[in-house]
């Protein structure tokens, strides 16, 4: 007998005849512990998440999602939702819950004339990039091609082309959603506009998106991009010089700063492998010649160990960091937003790099603004629209015996950087233990989000996430 967790914190046996009836209604199927498909569904990017759902439903389309939601609601079951499985918090998999697996829904359909794409929630960024680039088009997404489009979009979505073309949510035209009632509805600025507003940054709190409809932009097949690597001894002076460049940068130029031990990159002299370095990762979304001009200031800074800025295929650049972010490692992130990088903050940050807990660990700082900053904070659920810096303390290691040490290092750096931060954060970078931080993430938008939640999910059925509680039924989340 299969036992599944219930919404009242208990668990119930679910009759096999009911499961068989459910499976007969699906295009996909179901799997239990020990059966094919179960291990793949429960295994996600962050190896710290090792949980065992009671039952897995493998969806192949909106009708499967609808059947799954109605089944869970009828039997009062807890349901978690997995798309790309890349979220650091690991909310996709919950012990004893019903796991709705969307990873088989990977279709990406491009309309090159309209410059739009219809994308299913199980698609990865690599799927989106490859299909859109076939037509010389792009969607602004993140920087790791193994990330899932659903989680990225629902949290906001930013990367190399955000300053030029806006966040991923700024390019969302409509979404098909299965609600907590099991209805399939479409939302956009003109239809179910309140839900459409909430989906753009509010995470998986309001329903299961079964299709995204995006606006695309012309770019590629190559972009001016690459890395400039400096010794960490130059980091303080370089980071103090960087705002003069980022504050006046063309919208097409994006610069991210990475501090870590140098990986054995083929273009990096061997004597630098394993030593602390500062890396400027840069991309220009536009004309190659203009990109050369836009990067001149950055390339003139300091005395780099190596400069490999040049034309690269956009699809390849989007996957450039994949080798450092492979699945199967243990990961813990902490993140802050900064209005600016003060000299004091820079000193604290660089000092921490001298004590990295593992060679795989790093800190990166993304500069955002441009088109993203020209959207009003209340226009979407994602509120932090000013030009600012986003820090991600990305702690990464291989074995469980280092958990306390690595997590402790990340938390200390997070605490040390808190005095310089705005108090806001990017929800997709938040670990599972930051439950009390959700209100600050959404700021002035939080009350409206709670009201939308109360309208579309008053019982807080969609609760396996960075949870937004319904304003008319706050006890449901407790």
User: Could you report the per-residue pLDDT of 308-328, keeping only the tens digit for each?
Assistant: 999 999 999 999 999 999 999
* pLDDT tens profile 291-309: 999 999 999 999 999 999 9
* Residue 354: per-residue pLDDT: 95
In order of start, what are the domains of the chain with their CATH numbers?
A: 2-101 (3.30.43.10), 108-219+449-459 (3.30.465.10), 222-435 (3.40.462.20)
* pLDDT tens profile 264-290: 999 999 999 999 999 999 999 999 999
* pLDDT tens profile 446-473: 999 999 999 999 999 999 999 999 997 5
- From the list 419, 421, 426, 424, the residue with the least C-alpha distance to 392 is 426
Task: Please state, rounded to an integer, the average pLDDT across all residues of the chain.
Answer: 96
* Residue 472: per-residue pLDDT: 74
Please give the Cα distance from 433 to 117 (Å, whole number): 35
What are the residues whose beta carbons fall under 8 Å from the beta carbon of 314, sequence distance 6 or more?
129, 133, 138, 219, 220, 221, 222, 223
CA distances (Å), origin 461, targets 175, 434, 470, 478: 20, 20, 10, 12
- From the list 73, 84, 77, the residue with the least C-alpha distance to 55 is 77
Q: Of 1 and 428, which is predicted with more confidence?
A: 428
Q: What is the pTM of this model?
A: 0.96
pLDDT (mean) for 236-249: 95
- From the list 122, 155, 146, 108, the residue with the least C-alpha distance to 41 is 122
- From the list 82, 41, 46, 52, the residue with the least C-alpha distance to 328 is 46
In angstroms, what is the C-alpha Rg of the chain?
22
Retrieve residue 6's tokens: 């219930």
> Residue 304: left (phi > 0), alpha (psi -120 to 50), or beta?
beta
Residues 260 and 363 sit within 8 Å (Cβ to Cβ):
yes
Whether the predicted pLDDT of 476 surpasses 70 = no
What are the residues whose beta carbons fall under 8 Å from the beta carbon of 359, sequence distance 6 or more?
260, 261, 274
Please give the Cα distance from 157 to 152 (Å, whole number): 5
Residues 84 and 122 sit within 8 Å (Cβ to Cβ):
yes
Whether the predicted pLDDT of 478 surpasses 70 = no
């Amino acid at each position: 007998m299969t036992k599944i967790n219930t919404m009242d914190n208990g668990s119930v046996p679910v009759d096999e005849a009911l499961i068989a009836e459910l499976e007969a209604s699906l295009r996909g199927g179901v799997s239990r512990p020990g059966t094919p498909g179960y291990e793949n569904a429960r295994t996600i990017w962050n190896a710290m998440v090792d949980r065992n759902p009671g039952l897995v439903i493998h969806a192949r389309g909106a009708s499967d999602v609808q059947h799954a939601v109605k089944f869970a609601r009828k039997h009062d079951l807890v349901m978690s939702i997995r798309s790309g499985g890349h979220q650091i918090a690991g909310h996709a998999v919950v012990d004893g819950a019903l796991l709705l697996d969307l990873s088989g829904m990977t279709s990406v359909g491009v309309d090159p004339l309209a410059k739009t794409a219809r994308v299913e929630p199980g698609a990865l960024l690599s799927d989106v990039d490859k299909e859109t680039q076939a037509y010389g088009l792009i969607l602004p997404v993140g920087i790791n091609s193994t990330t899932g489009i659903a989680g990225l979009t629902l949290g906001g979505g930013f990367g190399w082309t955000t300053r030029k073309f806006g966040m991923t949510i700024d390019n969302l035209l409509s979404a098909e959603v299965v609600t907590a009632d099991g209805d399939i509805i479409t939302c956009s600025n003109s239809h179910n506009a309140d839900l459409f507003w909430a989906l753009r940054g509010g995470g998986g709190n309001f329903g299961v998106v079964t299709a995204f409809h995006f606006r695309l932009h012309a770019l590629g097949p190559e972009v001016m991009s690459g890395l400039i690597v400096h010794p960490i001894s130059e980091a303080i002076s370089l980071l103090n010089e960087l705002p003069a460049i980022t504050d006046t940068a063309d919208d097409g130029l994006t610069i991210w700063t990475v501090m870590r031990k140098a990986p054995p990159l083929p273009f990096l002299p061997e004597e630098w492998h394993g030593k602390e370095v500062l890396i400027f990762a840069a991309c220009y979304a536009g004309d190659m010649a203009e990109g050369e001009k836009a990067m001149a200031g950055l390339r003139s800074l300091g005395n780099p160990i190596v400069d490999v800025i040049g034309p690269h295929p956009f699809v390849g650049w989007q996957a450039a960091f994949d080798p450092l972010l492979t699945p199967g490692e243990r990961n813990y992130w902490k993140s802050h937003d900064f209005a600016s990088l003060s000299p004091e903050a820079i000193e604290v940050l660089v000092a921490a790099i001298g004590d990295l807990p593992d060679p795989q660990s790093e800190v990166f700082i993304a500069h955002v603004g441009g088109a993203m900053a020209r959207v009003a904070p209340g226009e979407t659920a994602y509120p932090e629209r000013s030009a600012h810096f986003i820090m991600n303390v990305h702690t990464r290691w291989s074995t469980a015996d280092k958990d306390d040490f690595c997590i402790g290092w990340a938390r200390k750096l997070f605490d040390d950087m808190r005095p310089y931060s705005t108090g806001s954060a990017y929800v997709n970078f938040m670990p599972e233990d930051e439950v009390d931080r959700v209100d600050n993430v959404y700021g002035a938008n939080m009350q409206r989000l709670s009201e939308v939640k109360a309208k579309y999910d008053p019982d807080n059925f969609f609760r396996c996430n960075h949870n937004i509680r319904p304003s008319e039924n706050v006890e449901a989340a407790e």
